[in-house]
Amino acid sequence: MEAMRNKAVVVVGAIGLLATSIAFIIGIIVGANNAGGALVQDQPNENCFLDPNAEDPTHAQTKLVACEITGMTEEAGIAYAESKDVTVRVASRDGEFFALTEDYRFDRINIDIRLGVITVADAW
């Protein structure tokens, strides 16, 4: 009788483990499909807004563009920024940092690129 009970516990445990594994995999698939978009974008980020505290209207627009291009591919981000009359300067690429001048311009964005994606875009 004891051996029968042990087999039943093992079977129920195995069925529970199988059901949990299936539910976990379905959750990952459904979650990935509903995640809200790709991490790398070819279009500007729609969740950005003008900074009401910016020193200058040009600076406010530049900060907006900097936010919008973060997460975009290098080519798409630079093209978008230039279409908005914003100068783009690559500050680093894949961990290699470049020498930059310290002059301050309201219409320029410094970008950091990792694996072809803009990971940081600063308008000071």
Tens-digit pLDDT profile for residues 21-35: 998 888 777 776 665
Share of residues in the chain with pLDDT > 70 (%): 90
Whole-number Å distance between alpha carbons of 124 and 108? 9
Q: Which two tokens stand for residue 26?
A: 């379905």
pLDDT tens digits along 96-111: 999 999 888 999 999 9
Residues 57-122, CATH architecture: 2-Layer Sandwich (3.30)
- Residue-range domain boundaries for the chain: 1-36, 57-122
Q: From residue 110, how far is each of 19, 88, 99 by CA, in Å?
A: 50, 6, 12
Whole-number Å distance between alpha carbons of 11 and 62? 63
Cβ atoms of residues 73 and 117 within 8 Å:
yes
Q: Which residues of the chain fall short of a pLDDT of 70?
A: 1-4, 32-39
